[in-house]
Structure 1
Amino acid sequence: MNDSLKQKIKQFVLTGINEEKAAAVPDPFWQGLRNAGTELWLDTGDMDEAEKNWSVEMTALTTNNTLVNKEIQKGIYDDFIEKAKVIVSELPLEEQIVEIAFILNARHGMRLAKKFGGKVSVELHTNTAHNFDAIIDYGLRYHDINPEQFIVKVPYTAVGLLGARRLRELGVKINFTLEFSARQNVMVAAITKPNYCNVFLGRIGAYIKDNSLGSGEGGGERAVISSQRYITELTKTNAEPTKLIAASLRNFDQLDALAGTDVFTMPTKVASEGKLNLSGKFSSKVGVVYPVDLTDEAVVYAPEKIWNVTDKELELAKSLDKDCPKSGNELIDRVHQAGCGDMFPYLSERDLKFIADDGKIPKHERWAHRIESGELAIDTLLNLAGLASFTADQAELDERIRKIITTS
């Protein structure tokens, strides 16, 4: 795509945004969490729900393919899509769809930025997850639209690690996403040095519980606290240390259990229930080691890989930073050569289809023997399932775009 069209798209995204600034007042409850050391973000693309929960102490909102798709499916952008079609009409149909998806993410992100005045995490199209050039191109274009407020979310893939590293070198703010363990976050922090990285803690507990490996209690919390410790130590001398996000909290009790974590991304339901049920007297829990309720049988599947980091994994991350691979395939090969192949396993198309078909929480029984053998790991499966889930939601959004631009 030529630069002239990119500039037309940028102007189209920015034109006519007239959001009324959301009223925000100080709230002692949320100030208590801030005093404990936690930055507060709302995890929603719904502007009305965000406004009901927004306070002076909150600094950002985060969206993803799922959350943006929910807003698009309401029909509130259908007329906007019609207008966007005119701007990108010179492109082939499939490129039009991807470009309009970018336009919608950027437009909705700008509306959130204008209304709430904070930072906004914006998501890449899922078809860029393994495409270095596309990650760089769209990351830079988001940055060009709003360099102060936009934080670009890049997913945990081998290519994503390298693409995000390059974007950081170019000054783009990065929220590295779809991590499910401390060792994944060590890889991210060492190689990419992002502004933010994540633990999607709710799905860790759900995997354990849904697959009868235990009650699910403590797993996500322990992964967050462990990640926080490693990330703080690993990036403390960086020009801009990486902050850890406890991502997509599932229940209000986690506001207290994880107080002191660098950042919370809170669904509005969790935020509102927290205010109703908690005292607001928070203290940092970053030194707590939460026990994880597991069955006796679960230990053969090495669930501790979710919160433990071996010396071998730590040295691998540092070596990949020092001598950065030139491609995603090279990175994966070096991970295997280091004896850490379960972090980026070689999988068939059939394997990937099974993971996608399972949904957000993989069916452990299907993968149990490969996990026990060390070929796969729970955090890796959760990452692949998360990306597949986002891809499905992206496909639904793309299909709405397709119908509008092909029938009008």
Structure 2
Amino acid sequence: MTTRLDNLSKLSTIVADTGEIELIERFRPQDCTTNPSLLLKAVHMDAYRDLVDDAVDWGRDRAGTRDRDVEAVLDRLAVNFGSELLRLVPGYVSTEVDAALSFDTQGTIDKARQLIELYRERDVDPQRVLIKIAATWEGIQAARVLQREGINCNMTLIFSLAQAVACAEAGAFLVSPFVGRITDWYKAATGEDYAPDDDPGVQSVKRIYEYFKAYGHQTVVMAASFRTTGQVEALAGCDRLTISPQLLDELRASGGEVPRRLYPDMGGEVEALDVSEPNFRWLLNEDAMATEKLAEGIRRFHADTATLREHVRALL
């Protein structure tokens, strides 16, 4: 039986939203992406004990103080998982910069360079690694510098067209608009449920996709944070779709056609958006949903990193 996942894969590149190696082996996606929440879950699993032990042994007494040793272990751990995942996928893996650096341009640049150097030490081609950065103004400026150095960036926590356009103008390799989290906000604000075509998260990705095609931006649009297969299928044809294992299972369990909804030539007359720093900050300020969800996302990733940091400290 040809499944809905098979048919969807003909229209969009499928990315697995997981850091669990056995799930990557099962679904065999093109790319994979991780974040602190996924790594935190993975380090408590016996299957990954060797990757964790290697990072702890490598980082112990490396940097001169316990705090700096912990940071070294965290970096090595992320690279260990990324390197292992790259054995299983033919494309890219995304490795995230600490959310605490979301408003620190130089700190983000320095951390990205460190991660790429660690991948080189593992004999991994840096061109297969995407550095994942929160799409704050400071993060976007870091991406501008990194892209010029040949370090490709995955701009995450995208909740507005202004963020996406600023990333594209900075030359970012990829943007990740968060479909489900956008819809969560609107459902909480209005009390309404939305059909897939009317879904605010789906509509946000469509606007970004249309704008990029209208202005010839080469930045990849990778829709993320799906809640339902209906949201996924409503964006069939988007450049990339990063999908949780649960939804991948649902798509693989049923047959049927998945019609294309987004087309490369669909960009029409779209008004240009001014994303100079003052206007970017103003547009974000005026968008309550984007402002709240961006801040919430940074806090959530930072909290998971803090928990992971304490776990590593105990291991040391």
**Bigger RCO (CA 8 Å, 6+ sep):** 2
Q: Contact between 1:180 and 1:383, CA under 8 Å: does it hold in 2?
A: yes
Residues 78 and 150 of structure 1: is their aligned pair in 2 closer, same or farther, counting only changes over 3 Å? closer
Q: How does 1:4-403 map to 2 (within 5 A)?
A: 29-36=4-11, 38-54=12-28, 58-74=29-45, 76=49, 77-86=51-60, 88=62, 90-144=63-117, 145=119, 146=124, 147-190=126-169, 192-217=170-195, 218-236=199-217, 241-279=218-256, 281-286=257-262, 314-317=272-275, 320=276, 331=277, 334-335=278-279, 341-343=282-284, 345=285, 374=286, 377-403=288-314
Q: Contact between 2:147 and 2:171, CA under 8 Å: does it hold in 1?
A: yes
Q: Contact between 1:204 and 1:216, CA under 8 Å: does it hold in 2?
A: no
* Corresponding letter in the other structure for 1:201: V
Q: Contact between 1:205 and 1:219, CA under 8 Å: does it hold in 2?
A: yes
Q: Contact between 2:202 and 2:235, CA under 8 Å: does it hold in 1?
A: yes
Residues 271 and 249 of structure 1: is their aligned pair in 2 closer, same or farther, counting only changes over 3 Å? same
Deviations 1:274-329 (A, max 9, x none): 121341x2222127xxxxxxxxxxxxxxxxxxxxxx95xx4422xx3xxxxxxxxx
Deviations 1:235-264 (A, max 9, x none): 44xxxx111011122222233211011100
Q: Contact between 1:69 and 1:397, CA under 8 Å: does it hold in 2?
A: yes
Residues 82 and 187 of structure 1: is their aligned pair in 2 closer, same or farther, counting only changes over 3 Å? closer
Identity %: 23
Q: Contact between 2:13 and 2:30, CA under 8 Å: does it hold in 1?
A: yes
Q: Number of matched residues?
A: 298
Q: Contact between 2:3 and 2:252, CA under 8 Å: does it hold in 1?
A: no
Q: Contact between 2:18 and 2:34, CA under 8 Å: does it hold in 1?
A: yes
- In angstroms, what is the RMSD of aligned CA positions? 2.3
Provide the secondary structure at the position in 2 that maps to 1:277.
Answer: coil
Residues 216 and 92 of structure 1: is their aligned pair in 2 closer, same or farther, counting only changes over 3 Å? farther
Distance 1:86 1:253 in 2: 47
Distance 2:191 2:3 in 1: 39
Distance 1:216 1:392 in 2: 30
Match of 2:267 in 1: none
* Corresponding letter in the other structure for 1:178: L
Deviations 1:185-208 (A, max 9, x none): 112212x22111011000111112
Distance 1:98 1:126 in 2: 13
What is the CA distance between 1:272 and its match in structure 2? 1.0
Residues 149 and 223 of structure 1: is their aligned pair in 2 closer, same or farther, counting only changes over 3 Å? same
Q: Contact between 1:151 and 1:175, CA under 8 Å: does it hold in 2?
A: yes
Q: Which runs of 5+ in 2 are unaligned?
A: 264-269
Q: Which has the larger radius of gyration?
A: 1
Q: Contact between 2:52 and 2:77, CA under 8 Å: does it hold in 1?
A: no
Q: Contact between 1:78 and 1:404, CA under 8 Å: does it hold in 2?
A: no
Q: What TM-score do you get using the length of structure 1 for normalisation?
A: 0.68
What is the CA distance between 1:35 and its match in structure 2? 3.2
What is the CA distance between 1:214 and its match in structure 2? 2.1
Q: Contact between 2:56 and 2:73, CA under 8 Å: does it hold in 1?
A: no
Residues 29 and 277 of structure 1: is their aligned pair in 2 closer, same or farther, counting only changes over 3 Å? closer
Deviations 1:198-224 (A, max 9, x none): 110001111122334422441111111
* Corresponding letter in the other structure for 2:45: K
